[in-house]
Amino acid sequence: MKNIFKIALIAFSTLSLSSCDDYLETESPSVVDSDLVFSDVTSAKSALLNAYDKWRGKSYVHSNGLFYALAEVGSDIEHHPESYSKQTRHIPEYFYPGGTSSFDVSSFGEGSSAWSALYSIISITNSLINSFESTSNFEAMMSSGEATELSDLYGQAVALRATAYWELLRYFGDVPHVLKTGETGENGIVPRDQIYEYHLNKLMEVEPYMFRVGENGNDADVMTRTYVQGLIGRYCLYMGGYATRRTDLGSDFYKDLDGNTISFENWSTESNSAVYGRRSDWKDYFTIAKTYLTSLVSNSGSAYLITSDPRSVSTSGQYFGNPYQYVFQMMMTGEELSDESIYEIPEEYGYYSERPYAFGRPSAGGSSNYFPCKSYGQSRFQASYYYGDFDPNDLRRDVTVTVTASNGDGTEKVIDPTPGSKTMGGFANNKWDENRMTTPYTAKQRKSGINTPYMRMSDAILMLAEVEAALGNDGTAKNYLAMVHNRAFASESLANLDGFITKAGSVYDAVLEERKLEFGGEGMRRYDLIRTGKLPEAIVANRNLMKTVCDNIEANGYHTFDNGNQLPEYIWVKQVDARTDLGYRLTTQCTDESDPVLFPGWRGQNDDWSQFDNAGKYGDPTLTNAAIKGLFTYIDPSSQEALDLEADGYERMDWGRAIVDNRADYADDLFLGYTDADASAKVPPIYLVPLSITILENSGISNGYGFQSIN
């Protein structure tokens, strides 16, 4: 994919960093010749690329690590594919069953990896920022009233550092605040509010001196003014949002930058030396968010909300007509970024990439020289999300969720809901699929080169809708909500925005529901629930719904959701020759819901199988596609319809039955660390990540929230 890191880095020894894997990777030379380093744009850009490269690689928060273990999976719509007993990482996802005090804090390596990686990035950006600020022309540059290449690069460094801190704060809570070259966090834990406030101020300071997406050669693969405006919005939503905070650090620990003690509106009682609530002055931050998000939406540079699909019907007859799918297709095409991306992390073909290995359509292919190579499929969805949350006319459903995987031999397979991985584990993320790449990478797994979306225009628009609704401006909020909601349907009448709002209960709740539908599998839902105060009720409601689903399937053979979809005990499947029947194997937008190959859409297999190395091993398969009957409508297994299907070569497959047989994983034990009783008693949810003993030993800080500590 389009990759800024293909640019050759100029040797830049004055900013080389030594590593300290155990704590804060912040060691840097004490003396930097700023005027030499930043005397021209080229040297400054080369230094910044080093920081970007560390961020793009294994930073453990946007593609692997904590994103993989928590953000992508632990919500009321998303989960892991394996059974609870198979993975230690389920424990933080499920809010620490057995209590935080019994959790082995050193067993969760993703936390330690992310901690070290983020502070390493912060160390590099500190050196860059400190060097910029000590140049002789810095004041003139930042008082000129206009963006220059150097001021833009300075702003990018500020934005990258602020992004790293945002990730630290949402995962860990209160952390050390390191701002100067050579500092190692000796002052210990700093209140998150001070860290948020400091970086919010810096972002607002640099924002006017940066270029938007598409200006001065800046694309969405770097942090632009457009992204900074969106990041300010994110910061404010988290600053003014709900969070679980420590009470063991003293009643006056949480202070602002001026030293004033902050007051809170607490939802919870106190437990595990923590409470769950939000700042009393939350509206102040939502008002700031409104200002910057309005500016972003009114002038977003070259980024825009994609509302039409420019693709024509293929020569084989594949119909597209889905702008939402096109958003993600652009990330899979080649040297291209999605036009909807405000910031998109570029990955390089043949280099490490988690999409779609962990966050896309699964494949059982081998680890190398198969197509698609093995894709484990970490990103899975709750059955209730696929069947119950999406309106049947919503164009996003089949783009977001798939019920089929690839075998790696040119054939498609319906995913078994039984917990597992690859072609097992249930409903999978469909936003990224190597079958849809122009030139897929087959030499080895995890090297597809598919890009990572970090902020899209729809996110900025819905953040703006949210703050408008929260501030009481329902009419304005509804207008922004309509922009995203209506593009997900073929017409405004099918979108039925007023009906959607009525069902949600309010404009505000409709915006949150829209975010659930828009960003499935993109790692947002868990933290949207946390910061809006909806987490306790949402996870209890989801668990109880899935218990009812299992009970109804057991009793009646199916469960009917409010939208009319039925989750049946069985479905019927057979393999067919789609190339002969349709003229192609890779399906697109469904044009005929009675066709069991076309419905549901966006599945199948790559049309040009013969181009891949393993085609010679397997030959050119004929029965490539799975035809599915009874996916959304119950078929009585003793009925004539079922008998006719079996006579036609269809085989009955456990579907809802597999969910019932594994109801502990699908229903009873969902989020078993936060029970109905906990929600009723208003116990604060513990979703934060503990620090390992190694970090504690080297830092002098302590764990909170009941976790094991050494102080």
Per-residue pLDDT tens over the stretch 230-261 = 999 999 999 999 999 999 999 899 999 999 99
Residue pair 296/230 in contact (Cβ under 8 Å)? The answer is yes
Query: Average of pLDDT values for 565-585?
Result: 97
The pLDDT mean for the chain works out to 92
Listed in sequence order, the DSSP H helices in 354-447 are: 383-384, 397-400
Say how far apart CA 48 and CA 153 lie, in whole Å: 8
Beta sheet of 274-279, edge-to-edge order:
243-246, 274-279, 264-266
Q: What is the pLDDT of residue 555?
A: 98
Q: What is the pLDDT of residue 11?
A: 34
Residues 6+ apart with CB under 8 A from 180: 126, 130
Look up residue 302 and give its two tokens: 């070259």
* pLDDT-above-70 percentage for the chain: 93
| Amino acid, single-letter form, for residue 410 | G
Q: What is the pLDDT of residue 540?
A: 96
Give 565's DSSP letter: -
Q: What is the pLDDT of residue 15?
A: 39
Q: What is the pLDDT of residue 243?
A: 98
Q: What is the pLDDT of residue 37?
A: 52
Q: What is the pLDDT of residue 39?
A: 58
Residue pair 309/339 in contact (Cβ under 8 Å)? The answer is no
Residue pair 100/705 in contact (Cβ under 8 Å)? The answer is yes
Say how far apart CA 219 and CA 227 lie, in whole Å: 11
Question: What pTM, to 2 d.p., does this model score?
Answer: 0.95
Tell me the β-bridge partners of 341: 456
Say how far apart CA 129 and CA 223 lie, in whole Å: 15
∠ Cα 629 630 636 (to 5°): 120
The lowest-confidence range among 9-13, 62-66, 136-140, 644-648 is 9-13
Query: Average of pLDDT values for 285-299?
Result: 98
Query: Average of pLDDT values for 269-292?
Result: 98
Say how far apart CA 243 and CA 279 lie, in whole Å: 9
Per-residue pLDDT tens over the stretch 12-42 = 333 333 333 444 544 433 334 555 455 567 7
Say how far apart CA 126 and CA 181 lie, in whole Å: 6
Q: What is the pLDDT of residue 170?
A: 97
Give 10's DSSP letter: P
Query: Average of pLDDT values for 470-492?
Result: 98
- 3-state secondary structure at position 409: strand
Per-residue pLDDT tens over the stretch 675-706 = 999 999 999 999 999 999 888 887 779 999 99
∠ Cα 183 187 189 (to 5°): 110
Say how far apart CA 630 and CA 599 lie, in whole Å: 11
Q: What is the pLDDT of residue 438?
A: 83
51-81: burial string, b at 16+ Cβ within 10 Å, e else: bbebbbbebbbbbbbbbbbbbbbbbbbbbbb
Residue pair 528/433 in contact (Cβ under 8 Å)? The answer is no
Which residue, 109, 114, 111, 22, is CA-closest to 690? 111
Omega of the bond leading into 600 within 30 degrees of 0 (cis): yes
Give 502's DSSP letter: H
Q: Is 302 exposed, middle or buried (0-12, 13-18, 19+ CB in 10 A)?
A: middle
Say how far apart CA 498 and CA 123 lie, in whole Å: 49
Q: In whole angstroms, how far apart are CA 585 and each of 247, 411, 437, 602? A: 58, 9, 14, 11
Say how far apart CA 491 and CA 328 lie, in whole Å: 21
Listed in sequence order, the DSSP H helices in 557-622 are: 578-582, 615-618
- In degrees rounded to 5, what are phi and psi of residue 512? -65, -35
Q: Is the pLDDT of residue 206 over 60?
A: yes
Q: What is the pLDDT of residue 480?
A: 98
Say how far apart CA 51 and CA 630 lie, in whole Å: 51
The lowest-confidence range among 14-23, 93-102, 336-345 is 14-23
> Which carries the bigger pLDDT value, residue 131 or residue 558?
558
Which residue, 293, 332, 337, 324, is CA-closest to 459? 293
What sign does the dihedral 48-54-60-64 (CA atoms) show? positive
Say how far apart CA 700 and CA 551 lie, in whole Å: 51
Which residue, 122, 118, 117, 114, is CA-closest to 65? 114
Which residue, 390, 428, 386, is CA-closest to 406? 428
Q: What is the pLDDT of residue 227?
A: 99
Q: How confident is the model at residue 351 (pLDDT cuts 50, 70, 90)?
A: confident
Query: Average of pLDDT values for 1-12?
Result: 41
Q: What is the pLDDT of residue 695?
A: 87
Look up residue 239 and give its two tokens: 């600053």
Q: What is the pLDDT of residue 262?
A: 98
Query: Average of pLDDT values for 218-227?
Result: 97
Q: What is the pLDDT of residue 173?
A: 97
Q: What is the pLDDT of residue 89?
A: 78
Per-residue pLDDT tens over the stretch 263-277 = 999 999 999 999 999
∠ Cα 106 539 702 (to 5°): 30
Quote the radius of gyration of the chain (alpha carbons, Å): 25
Q: Is the pLDDT of residue 437 over 50?
A: yes
- 3-state secondary structure at position 547: helix
Q: In whole angstroms, how far apart are CA 224 and each of 91, 152, 210, 218, 425? A: 37, 8, 6, 7, 39
Per-residue pLDDT tens over the stretch 149-188 = 999 999 999 999 999 999 999 999 999 999 997 777 667 8
Q: Is the pLDDT of residue 7 over 50?
A: no
Say how far apart CA 223 and CA 231 lie, in whole Å: 10
Say how far apart CA 363 and CA 606 lie, in whole Å: 13
The lowest-confidence range among 346-350, 391-395, 512-516, 565-569 is 346-350
Query: Average of pLDDT values for 483-498?
Result: 98
Look up residue 470 and give its two tokens: 């929260």
Tell me the β-bridge partners of 375: 363
Per-residue pLDDT tens over the stretch 41-82 = 777 788 899 899 999 988 999 999 999 999 999 999 999 999
Q: Is the pLDDT of residue 642 over 90?
A: yes
Q: Is the pLDDT of residue 455 over 50?
A: yes
Give the 3-state secondary structure of 295-355: HHHHCCCCCCCCCCCCCCCCCCCCCCCCHHHHHHHHHHCCCCCCCCEEEEECCCCCCCCCC
Say how far apart CA 599 and CA 71 lie, in whole Å: 30
* pLDDT-above-90 percentage for the chain: 82
Per-residue pLDDT tens over the stretch 530-564 = 999 999 999 999 999 999 999 999 999 999 999 99
Which residue, 618, 642, 638, is CA-closest to 629? 642
Which residue, 620, 570, 575, is CA-closest to 596? 575
